[in-house]
Amino acid sequence: MASVPQPWNDEVEMISGREFHKFSVRHGVYRLPVDETEEDRLDKVHSILTSWEDFGGLILPDPTEVKLSAVLDCGCGSGAWADAISDEYADGEDISVVGVDLYPPKQCEYLDFQRWNLNAPFRLDQGVLSERYTFINSRFLANGIDAARWPSYIQDMYGRLRSGGWLQMTEAYMNIQSDNGRRDEAPSLGRWWHLFSTALEQQGRDPRVGTTVVHANQRSWANLKALMTQAGFDCIQERHPRLPIGGWKPGASRYIGERVFDLMRGTLESLGLWACCRVHGMSAQSFTDLLDECVQEMSNADLHLYIQFYSVWGQKPGHGRRQSKSTRRSSQVLDQTMPPPSIGR
């Protein structure tokens, strides 16, 4: 098997007016910007997720069943999640939080950030990835993990957990959907998705990782849940909340949707810049026009647009651990109440 290249510095290069991590771009590992604008976007996404009730907060399993003494955040980005865990759950000196990324944030006093390409087997790392953790977070890595790597990536995380430790994973399906079946009225969003997803596939990534596949009235839970089951996880649960774009949903969701809408242009730009301009050869002006059209469509509240999220979490079986009542109850509730979303792929 060819060896997986590892990043050795934080050198950046300018592409279409944005800063990209030179190593990640040149080796085709991850092709989103890494500049302050992107860091700010990731922080804002994190802030929305922490106040979005349907998502479930920083910790998706029942927090009373989780021990946060040794935490690993895979693909930590701006460090927002790691930072928040260390702030909110730090119990004296009992918590250690490690964040791993191709382009890690600057080290700080309470958090240990390390540079590593997670496409390589964890056993090859002599440092952070050989430690044992009580909790691992992996969020929004579809753009950077090889499609074929997902099973062994999840097995590696299983291997790095202590008995009784938890893994939580979240991915978003960026093919924007309509809650009232009017997605056809947003053709530019469809075009953006086509350009983005085909470029990602050419790069050997799976833009649908985590999604639910529905076959003729039978639901089959695909990908992350199946892979966690195969890896040996127990007490696996999942949640598939829909993140509204714009203020079309009543109640607290209205405010969340408005905040999401404000972030969407930047999100489609960050995710789509390389795909549209480098892979599909679009001019800067055509890309700007496409983003403008997408914003126009997203501002139509009648279309009830949303992003489908997929979160899955599970526990490594351990000595003396029993499935708690709350875990049993919430799995039943999820099974009964979660109709599979019907999704155009």
Ligand X SMILES: C[S@@+](CC[C@H](N)C(=O)[O-])C[C@H]1O[C@@H](n2cnc3c(N)ncnc32)[C@H](O)[C@@H]1O
Residue 61 Cα distances to 22, 58, 81, 200, angstroms: 37, 9, 15, 31
> Which of helix, strand or coil describes residue 56?
coil
Residues near ligand X (CB under 6 A) are 29-30, 42, 46, 75-77, 80-81, 101-103, 117-119, 139-141, 144-145
Cβ atoms of 86 and 58 closer than 8 Å: no
Closer residue to ligand X, CB minimum distance, 30 or 248? 30
Instruction: Give CA–CA dist 20/91, Å, rounded.
Output: 37
Q: Which residue is nearest to ligand X (CB)?
A: 144
Shortest distance in whole angstroms from residue 304 CB to ligand X: 25
Shortest distance in whole angstroms from residue 336 CB to ligand X: 29
Shortest distance in whole angstroms from residue 247 CB to ligand X: 24
Closer residue to ligand X, CB minimum distance, 136 or 145? 145
Closer residue to ligand X, CB minimum distance, 153 or 248? 153
Closer residue to ligand X, CB minimum distance, 28 or 318? 28
Shortest distance in whole angstroms from residue 192 CB to ligand X: 17
Closer residue to ligand X, CB minimum distance, 74 or 303? 74
> Which of helix, strand or coil describes residue 326?
helix
Shortest distance in whole angstroms from residue 49 CB to ligand X: 8
